[in-house]
């Protein structure tokens, strides 16, 4: 594909500063971009633009850029993602049902659905129009899949779970596995039946090998627009709000409720039965042990406000020196006390 910078700017709703007639053939990262490529830069990386020689650079404001043509847009990252889709469209899938797929006669399949080899579709399943079911996907009884959804190879959706429109379920994710609930008496563990389900809002994405347990009763819930990375675990009856980010290896114990726009960075661990406010942000490896107010950034284990944690980390670096100082002071105090005793 070839497009001029001006054509791309019109597509993105941006303004060209420089050579609008330059021809672009591909989309590249800032370090790899050449004269036929378009890339993007946001602060603080814009300071390196004079060293870059790309066909065009997407930015959010005019900055010193050497010999680069600029395309100024409101959101460079979003614009860059649009160009990735334009220049590198995803593999198209032809609608139809492969003869090796096993589909119960009671299932309802919408228009333009693709069901690939060896998928297994249970009783009373509903699959919305335009959805794609890749090989070896399992859909349990009474599962509902919203239109435009994509389920990648090996994904498992257990019985009674509900996925909204445009759901993306990556390879080998498990939605609705039985929640981890046991009653313990005299050291022996007896399973408590987990008879609920999992519900996902529209535009939710679930990463590879991520596991969302079903509820004991009711539903484990993920709100509209939330994106969950690979290798994340949500326990039974967890509720995650809208437009949240859950990054790899995050684990959230049962019955915790998180508000909207919450970010859990990688390897965050969260105890159960707590409430987390809107817009809370947790740095990587945070340990959440109690209720959390929203609109603040947290870090550490147990978590504390990020600035407080940062100051503590600075002191920790000086602990060996401080220990020596304390020992020296203790020695001097002991000497002074001895002198006072001798007087």
Please spell the DSSP secondary structure of 229-285, one letter per residue: -TT-EE-TT-EE-TT-EE-TT-EE-TT-EE-TT-EE-TT-EE-SS-EE-TT-EE-TT
How many other β-carbons are positioned within 10 Å of the β-carbon of residue 176?
26
C-alpha separations of 196 from 166, 183, 257 in Å: 23, 17, 17
Token look-up 């309802």 returns: 108
State the residue for tokens 């978590």: 303
| 189 is an active site residue | no
Sole residue written with tokens 């039946």: 193
CA distance 319 to 306: 20
Note whether 59 and 38 are within 8 A (CB).
Answer: no
CB 92 within 8 A of CB 112: no
Catalytic residue chosen out of the listed positions 236, 273, 306, 318:
236
- Tell me which residues are annotated as active site: 236
């Amino acid at each position: 594909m070839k497009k001029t910078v001006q054509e791309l700017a019109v597509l993105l709703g941006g303004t060209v500063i420089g050579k609008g007639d330059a021809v672009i053939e591909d989309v590249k990262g800032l370090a790899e971009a050449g004269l036929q490529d378009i890339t993007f830069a946001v602060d603080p990386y814009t300071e390196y633009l004079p060293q870059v020689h790309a066909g065009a650079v997407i930015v959010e404001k005019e900055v010193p850029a050497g010999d680069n043509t600029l395309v100024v847009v409101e959101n460079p990252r979003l614009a860059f993602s649009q160009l990735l889709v334009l220049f590198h469209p995803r593999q198209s899938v032809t609608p139809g049902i492969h003869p090796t797929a096993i589909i119960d006669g009671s299932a309802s399949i919408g228009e333009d659905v693709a069901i690939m080899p060896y998928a297994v579709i249970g009783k009373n399943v509903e699959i919305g129009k335009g959805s794609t079911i890749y090989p070896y996907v399992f859909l349990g009884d009474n599962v509902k899949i919203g239109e435009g959804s994509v389920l990648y190879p090996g994904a498992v959706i257990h019985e009674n779970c509900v996925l909204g429109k445009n759901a993306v379920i990556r390879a080998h994710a498990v939605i609705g596995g039985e929640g981890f609930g046991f009653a313990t008496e005299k050291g022996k563990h007896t399973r408590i039946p987990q008879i609920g389900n999992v519900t996902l809002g529209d535009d939710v994405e679930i990463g590879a090998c991520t596991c969302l347990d079903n509820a004991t009763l009711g539903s484990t819930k993920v709100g509209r627009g939330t994106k969950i990375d690979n290798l994340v675990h949500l326990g039974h009856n967890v509720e995650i709000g809208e437009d949240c980010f859950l990054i790899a290896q995050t684990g959230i114990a049962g019955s915790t409720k998180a508000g909207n726009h919450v970010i859990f960075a990688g390897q965050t661990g969260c105890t159960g039965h707590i409430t987390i406010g809107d817009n809370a942000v947790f740095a990587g490896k945070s340990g959440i042990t109690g209720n959390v107010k929203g609109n603040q950034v947290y870090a550490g284990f147990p978590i504390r406000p990020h600035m407080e944690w940062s100051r503590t980390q600075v002191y920790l670096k000086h602990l060996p020196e401080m220990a020596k100082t304390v020992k020296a002071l203790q020695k001097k105090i002991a000497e002074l006390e001895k002198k006072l005793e001798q007087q």
